Amino acid sequence: MASTPEDDLRAFQFERVLNQDTGRKTLNLLGSINGQPAIITAEKTAFNADRAPALVSPEGLPSLHLLQKNDIYHWFMGTLQQSADAAAAVKVNLIYPCTDVHIKKYSAQKPHMVVETPEVYARYVSRYIAEKVAGGRLNWVYNILEHRSESEKIVYEDEDKLTGFILLPDLKWDLVTMTSLYLSVIVHRTDIRSIRDLNASHLAFLRSMRDRVLSATSDRYAIASDELKVYVHYQPSYYHFHLHVVHVAHDMGSSAAVGKAILLDEVIQTLEVMQRVQAAGGTEIGYKDLEITYLVGEEHDLWRRVFEPLKQGLEPTI
Ligand code: G7M
C-alpha cells in the first residue's frame, strides 16, 4: 500500500540543520525518507487575532511560568492550547524527494548584489533559464494549471490559454491568518519565463490580470485592495510567469524586499514608458534591455556559474 504524506513525514531521518531564522521563527532541516533526500521547513504560525479572547483564557494558556517581575513589568513562559486543524502551532512543509537545487535554496548562505546587464542576460542567464525550464522543475505548476493538484483551492480562474490565469493560495500560507494572506497567480500561457520576456505587447494582459486578481482577492477574503501588494520575483525560483499577492501587514523578509521583489505596478509603469519610447520611433525595447540589480546567494547556481566567475575575471561556466 502506498504511504501517506503523514507516513513519509514521520519516517524523516534527521541529518543536519540547513538554516534557522530566529526572527521569522523558521527552521530548515535536511534528512532522508526511505533512503531519498528530503527537506523539512518548519515555521511557527502567527497568532490568529480572531482567537485573542481564547488565547488569554486558562484553557488557551494551560500552563504559565513567571520568569521575572520588575515594577509594572512581568514576563512569563507558557504553553498554548493547540490543535492541528483549528489552532496549529507550526506549519511544516516537506519536500520529498528533494534535489540539490532545493538543498542549496534552503541552506544558509551569504547574499551578493549582482548587476545583470542585457549582455550578461543574453549570453549567460537566458541559457541558465532555458536549462532550468528543460530540467522539469515545473511539474507542480502544470499540476495546478491542469487541475491535477490544488484545484479545490482555486480562488479565481480564467481558462483562456493566452490571457488566462489561476489565483490560488501559495503553499506558504496557513489558509487561516488573514494578515499573512499569501496567494499566487499562475498564468496559463507558457511563453513568459520571467520579467525578462516582457515587453509593451504584454501591457493589456498585465493590467487586466492585476485588476481581476485584486478584485477576486478582495471579494473572497474581505480585504481592501489597498491592503494587498502584488509583485514578481527576479530571479524567481520557477521560470513560468507568476505573481505573488500578499497582505501588506505580512513581513516576508528577503522574499518581499528590494533585490528580489518588484511590484507589478512598477513593471506596468516601466512597460508603459517603453511603449512611449517605441512609439516615438525608437526600436522595440523590453525588459531584456534593462540592467537589473538583484541579490543572489552564494549557493545559487547563478552565483557559482555566472556572477562569481565574472567577478574574478573568468568565463562563466554555462
Ligand atoms: O520565487 P518564486 O517567484 O519562483 O516563488 C514561487 C512561489 O511558488 C513561492 O512563493 C512558493 O511558496 C510557491 N510554491 C512553490 N511550490 C512548489 C508550490 C506548490 O506546489 N503549490 C503552491 N500553491 N505554491 C507553491
- Does residue 317 sit within a domain? no
Cβ within 8 Å of residue 275, ≥6 positions away: 200, 203
- Does residue 31 sit within a domain? yes
**How much is the pLDDT for 206?**
98
- Does residue 190 sit within a domain? yes
Instruction: Tell which one of 95, 102, 147, 184 to mutate to probe ligand 1, the residue whose CB is within 8 A of the most ligand atoms.
Output: 184
Q: What is the pLDDT of residues 186-201, one digit of tens each?
A: 999 999 999 999 999 9
**How much is the pLDDT for 131?**
93
Q: Are residues 262 and 119 in the same domain?
A: yes
**How much is the pLDDT for 27?**
97
Cβ within 8 Å of residue 209, ≥6 positions away: 163, 165, 185, 187, 243
Tell me whether strands 261-263 and 228-233 are parallel, antiparallel or unpaired.
antiparallel
Residue type for 95, please?
I
* Mean pLDDT score, 105-127: 97
Assess whether the C-beta atom of 142 lies below 6 angstroms from ligand 1. no
Residue 271 has pLDDT above 80, yes or no: yes
CA distance 299 to 28: 15
Exposure string (b/e) for 53-63, b if CB count within 10 Å is 16 or more? eebeeeebeee
* Mean pLDDT score, 63-87: 92
Of 55, 88, 121, the residue at which a domain comes to its end is 88
Residue 315 has pLDDT above 90, yes or no: yes
Q: Are residues 214 and 188 in the same domain?
A: yes
**How much is the pLDDT for 25?**
93
What is the CA(258)–ligand 1 centre distance, in A?
A: 19
Q: Are residues 166 and 52 in the same domain?
A: no
Which atom of ligand 1 has the smallest separation from the CA of 172?
A: 12
Q: Are residues 3 and 133 in the same domain?
A: no
Q: Are residues 74 and 202 in the same domain?
A: no
Residue 2 has pLDDT above 90, yes or no: no
238 is in an annotated binding site: yes
Neighbours of 164 (CB within 10 A): 16
* Mean pLDDT score, 177-186: 94
Q: How confident is the model at residue 147 (pLDDT cuts 50, 70, 90)?
A: very high
What is the CA(168)–ligand 1 centre distance, in A?
A: 11
Of 100, 125, 144, the residue at which a domain comes to its end is 100
- Does residue 13 sit within a domain? yes
Residue 282 has pLDDT above 90, yes or no: no
What is the CA(278)–ligand 1 centre distance, in A?
A: 34
Residue 256 has pLDDT above 90, yes or no: no
Cell numbers given for 137: 522543475
CA distance 128 to 121: 9
**How much is the pLDDT for 130?**
95
Instruction: Tell which one of 196, 237, 247, 252 to mutate to probe ligand 1, the residue whose CB is within 8 A of the most ligand atoms.
Output: 237
**How much is the pLDDT for 244?**
98
**How much is the pLDDT for 213?**
98
Assess whether the C-beta atom of 140 lies below 6 angstroms from ligand 1. yes
Residue positions annotated with a catalytic role: 242
What is the CA(67)–ligand 1 centre distance, in A?
A: 40
Nearest CA to ligand 1 atom 9: 170
Which atom of ligand 1 has the smallest separation from the CA of 255?
A: 1
User: Number of folded domains in the chain?
Assistant: 3
Expressed as residue numbers, the domain containing 133 is 109-311
Mean pLDDT of the chain: 94
| CATH code of residue 197 | 3.30.428.10
Q: What is the pLDDT of residues 12-59, one digit of tens each?
A: 999 999 999 998 899 999 999 999 999 999 999 988 887 888 888 888
Q: Are residues 247 and 268 in the same domain?
A: yes
| CATH code of residue 21 | 3.30.200.40
What is the CA(121)–ligand 1 centre distance, in A?
A: 24
Nearest CA to ligand 1 atom 25: 171
* Mean pLDDT score, 199-225: 97
Q: Are residues 36 and 135 in the same domain?
A: no
Nearest CA to ligand 1 atom 3: 236
Contact 162, 192 (CB under 8 A): no
Which atom of ligand 1 has the smallest separation from the CA of 242?
A: 3
- Does residue 233 sit within a domain? yes
* Mean pLDDT score, 170-189: 94
CA neighbor of 290 nearest in space, from 127, 128, 116, 129: 116
Q: C-alpha angle with apex 89: 21 to 109, nearest 5 degrees?
A: 15
Contact 241, 234 (CB under 8 A): no
Q: Are residues 151 and 254 in the same domain?
A: yes
Exposure string (b/e) for 7-37, b if CB count within 10 Å is 16 or more? ebbeebeeeeebeeeeeeebbbbbbbbeeeb
Cβ within 8 Å of residue 305, ≥6 positions away: 124, 128, 316, 317, 318
**How much is the pLDDT for 85?**
83
**How much is the pLDDT for 137?**
84
* Mean pLDDT score, 120-129: 97
- Does residue 198 sit within a domain? yes
- Does residue 189 sit within a domain? yes
Q: Are residues 307 and 173 in the same domain?
A: yes
Residue 253 has pLDDT above 80, yes or no: no
Q: Are residues 76 and 124 in the same domain?
A: no
Q: Are residues 258 and 157 in the same domain?
A: yes
What are residue 231's DSSP bridge partners? 244, 263
CA neighbor of 141 nearest in space, from 229, 243, 217: 243
Assess whether the C-beta atom of 265 lies below 6 angstroms from ligand 1. no
- Does residue 192 sit within a domain? yes
Q: Are residues 71 and 53 in the same domain?
A: yes
